[in-house]
Amino acid sequence: MKRLAVLTSGGDCSGMNATLRAVVRAGLASGAEVIGIQKGFHGLIDRHYDILDTRSVSNVLQRGGTFLQSARCKEMRTEAGLRLATENLKGLGAEGLIVIGGDGSLKGAYAIYQQGIPVIGIPASIDNDIPFTDMSLGVDTALNNIITAIDNLKDTASSHDRAFVVETMGRDCGYLAVVATIASGAEYSLIPEEPYDLDQICTDLRRRYREGRSNSIILVAEGAGSAQEIADQIKERIGFETRVMVLGHYQRGGSPSVFDRLLGARFGQAAVENLLKGNGGKMLGLRAREIVLTDLETVITSGSRPIDPMLPLLASQLAV
């Protein structure tokens, strides 16, 4: 393979740059030229790209976001957009494509593969909702961002006997909220996968304060409701002083954790290696520490990765 292309698509996440660096350097080491497509599939449709050399990826490993930039691309869902993207890719002489992104991006990757171009997908989304991988790129850094924020909140919450309702991202998936609850020692996580009883939560909150606790942290996954509404309801029911923090896009940025740098390095190198071996139409995943391949078609038709039911159980058992 003489030329391959790479793009980052959908919501950015930390570790994308580490992955791009690995793709470029592993590609060059194997004698392939690497084209970086800008702004996801938009760059394929509009022909915005750069030839990447080893210096193009110097000093990017430690940065969050993606130096190629990213976008969600509606045109890729149309036949005309898909045709143009594929023609342009062929016109660039790219014999393979690496797509780094979440579920929508992997659908785009599969669509291009169906046009006869070898494609490897790399799961990258803080939501950790992509099946056939234990972890997606960016999840670990996002969790560390959430934990840092909660640790800081606990200081101020304790100084005022307050409850904080903290909203995490994750779209329809409660993974970030539930894992952050366990790892930060927060009291509750409200997630879309499980029903919750706000009356019970209010009763528990009262009891906690009677027992002398000085703070309570309630995590709300964005798919389970709005932190502001939950806080208002708590105030209305028990007159409790609450404050709200919506973590929003803060979770997605920042220097990637070692886990995400290593995962990005392994994914990037494995993507190149698999394209060179002729393995198109696959997504890479991390399962029990090994990098594994799953058919893109299986990935995009299998729905979201479910949360391990032990996690919510553990979160509630540890928060007493």
Catalog residues that contact ligand F6P under the rule CB under 6 A.
Answer: 11, 102, 125-127, 169-171, 222, 252
Rank residues 217 and 247 by Cβ distance to ligand F6P and give the closer one: 247
Rank residues 118 and 123 by Cβ distance to ligand F6P and give the closer one: 123
Long-range contacts, stretch 208-213, CB < 8 angstroms, 24+ apart: 209/161
Rank residues 35 and 300 by Cβ distance to ligand F6P and give the closer one: 300
| Token reading at 182 | 């366990």
What's the CA gap between 217 and 315, in Å, rounded? Answer: 12
C-alpha 254 chain-centroid distance = 13
Whether the Cβ atoms of residue 251 and residue 171 lie closer than 8 Å to each other: no
C-alpha 165 chain-centroid distance = 22
The single residue of 103, 127, 129, 260 carrying the catalytic annotation is 127
Rank residues 9 and 216 by Cβ distance to ligand F6P and give the closer one: 9
Cross-sheet strand order for the sheet of 3-8: 49-52, 33-37, 3-8, 97-101, 119-123, 282-287, 290-295
Least distance between ligand F6P and beta carbon 171 (Å): 4
Least distance between ligand F6P and beta carbon 126 (Å): 5
Instruction: Based on the residue annotation, tell me whether 127 is a catalytic residue of this protein.
Output: yes
What's the CA gap between 244 and 252, in Å, rounded? Answer: 19
**Listed residue (240, 284, 287) closest to 265, CA to CA:** 284
Rank residues 89 and 126 by Cβ distance to ligand F6P and give the closer one: 126
What's the CA gap between 74 and 274, in Å, rounded? Answer: 28
Strand locations in the chain (E): 3-8, 33-37, 49-52, 97-101, 119-123, 162-168, 188-190, 215-221, 242-246, 282-287, 290-295
